[in-house]
């Protein structure tokens, strides 16, 4: 048994409307057939590090929802996150389930993005404090033993200092209960405010977990028609992960008025993008029937078309085009495939 069933368990500003339209079109399958496959809860450290963020956030949510004593602990107990992390990895590894592959394949697609924040804190204190003067010029250690202890113990680095409001922002590459860390900062003299510093606009995607005696249920969701952090509609995918690491896809459903779309996760198997992530040259291929007219655009998250190319087909063949992306800034981009007047979307990462 890889984890105990008795364990208690408890994201950048851009054109959100454009991005959400892309996400919904890409992930608009409407499958209802349940299937169970044997998966694995093993993953390399790089993948574990990504899913640890999800697991810690889900654990912390549960701690606050159930008002557990751990809510006062800066460190999130690993026992509260191991079970759900293994479940997340099992879904990631269940590549034979199209829905799981679409949601977790590629460069870590759907993940937890809603509060709480695990790695950012802002502190406001009196301008007469010497340690605040040190932070104002980027000097750490500050000379204050208590503040320096908090900074060193929790691997905090200064992300900004606002000389107008006299507050300092910190980031950490670890995952903490920022609410408890804020309470620790508030114990210092003349500290007026300490709180988590949330991301400016969380991604409208999330994961929720429920622990049962024989399985963990994970519900992945993506919102659309969103504004100011709220969404009018959501699409959901439900998985059961059993304690032998087998995964069952239960159902997908949505609250969207656009329920009749005929684009499925399976269709994306006809598109090849590599390498992804990419540094210099991106190869894009597709297999489409004779007579189809197709083109592909590179679009940034502001909805701007950066480059376009035609894809020509003389029979049921694969056509490939290459894009020089060496000049693009690092980050997430979208490929828009225009095929016979219908648009399909896929993502790639410029590193």
Q: Can you read off the two tokens belonging to residue 124?
A: 């406001």
Q: How far apart are CA 298 and CA 349, in angstroms?
A: 12
CA angle 100, 104, 106 (to 5 degrees): 125
- Any residues with CB less than 8 A from the CB of 154 and at least 6 apart, and which? 74, 172, 174, 176, 181
Q: Which residue has the tokens 């009749």?
A: 260
Domain residue ranges in the chain: 16-114+203-254, 120-196, 265-350
Same fold, 120-196 and 265-350: no
- List the one residue out of 269, 306, 280, 292 whose CA is nearest residue 342: 292
Using CA atoms, how far apart are residues 1 and 55, in angstroms rounded to an integer? 19
Where would I find the H helices in 11-138? 16-26, 45-65, 82-93, 98-104, 130-136
Helix (H) or strand (E) holding 328: none
Per-residue confidence (pLDDT) for residue 239, from 0 to 100: 96
Q: How many residues does the chain have?
A: 351
Q: Has this prediction a pTM greater than 0.85?
A: no
> CA dihedral in degrees (168, 169, 174, 175; nearest 10)?
110
Q: What is the pLDDT of residue 24?
A: 44
Q: Which CATH class is domain 265-350?
A: mainly beta
Topology at the third CATH level for domain 120-196: Alpha-Beta Plaits (3.30.70)
pLDDT at position 80: 82
Amino acid 332: pLDDT: 67
For Cα atoms 186, 192, 194, give the angle at the middle one, nearest 5 degrees: 50
In this structure, are residues 222 and 27 in contact, taking their beta carbons and an 8 Å threshold? yes
Angle between helix axes 82-93 and 45-65 (nearest 10 degrees) is: 130
* Whether the Cβ atoms of residue 228 and residue 309 lie closer than 8 Å to each other: no
Angle at 315 between CA 312 and CA 321, to 5 degrees: 30
Question: Which residue, chain included where needed, has tokens 């095929």?
Answer: 339
CA angle 296, 297, 301 (to 5 degrees): 140
What are the average pLDDT values for consecutive 10-residue runs of the chain, which has 351 residues? 37 41 44 74 91 95 93 91 95 89 68 90 96 96 97 97 94 95 97 88 82 95 64 82 96 59 42 83 76 75 78 60 87 74 72 82
């Amino acid at each position: 048994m890889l984890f105990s069933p008795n364990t208690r368990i408890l994201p950048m500003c851009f054109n959100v409307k454009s991005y959400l339209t892309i996400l919904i079109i890409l992930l608009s399958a409407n499958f209802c057939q349940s299937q169970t496959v044997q998966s694995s809860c093993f993953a390399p450290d790089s993948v574990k590090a990504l899913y640890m963020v999800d697991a810690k956030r889900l654990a912390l949510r549960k701690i606050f929802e159930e008002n557990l004593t751990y809510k006062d602990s800066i460190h999130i107990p690993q026992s509260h996150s191991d079970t759900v992390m293994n479940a997340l990895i099992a879904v990631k590894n269940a590549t034979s389930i199209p829905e799981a592959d679409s949601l977790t394949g590629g460069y870590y697609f759907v993940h937890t993005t809603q509060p709480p924040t695990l790695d950012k804190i802002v502190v406001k204190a009196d301008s007469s404090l010497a340690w605040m003067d040190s932070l104002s010029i980027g000097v750490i250690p500050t000379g204050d033993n208590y503040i320096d202890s908090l900074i060193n113990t929790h691997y905090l680095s200064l992300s900004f200092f606002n000389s107008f409001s006299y507050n300092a922002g910190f980031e950490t590459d670890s995952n903490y209960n920022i609410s408890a860390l804020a309470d620790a900062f508030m114990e210092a003299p003349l500290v007026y405010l300490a709180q988590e510093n949330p991301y400016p606009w969380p991604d409208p995607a999330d994961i929720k977990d429920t622990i049962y005696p024989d399985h963990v249920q994970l519900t992945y969701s993506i919102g659309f028609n969103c504004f100011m952090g709220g969404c009018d509609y959501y699409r959901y995918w439900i998985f059961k992960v059993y304690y032998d690491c087998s995964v069952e896809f239960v159902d997908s459903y949505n609250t969207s008025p656009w329920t009749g779309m005929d684009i499925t996760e399976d269709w994306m198997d006809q598109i090849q993008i590599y390498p992804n992530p990419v540094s210099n040259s991106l190869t894009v291929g597709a297999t489409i029937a004779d007579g189809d007219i197709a083109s592909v655009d590179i679009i940034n998250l502001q909805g701007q078309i950066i480059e376009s190319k035609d894809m020509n087909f003389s029979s049921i063949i694969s056509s490939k085009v290459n894009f020089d992306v060496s000049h693009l800034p690092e980050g997430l981009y979208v490929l828009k495939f225009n095929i016979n007047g219908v648009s399909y979307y896929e993502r790639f990462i410029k590193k």
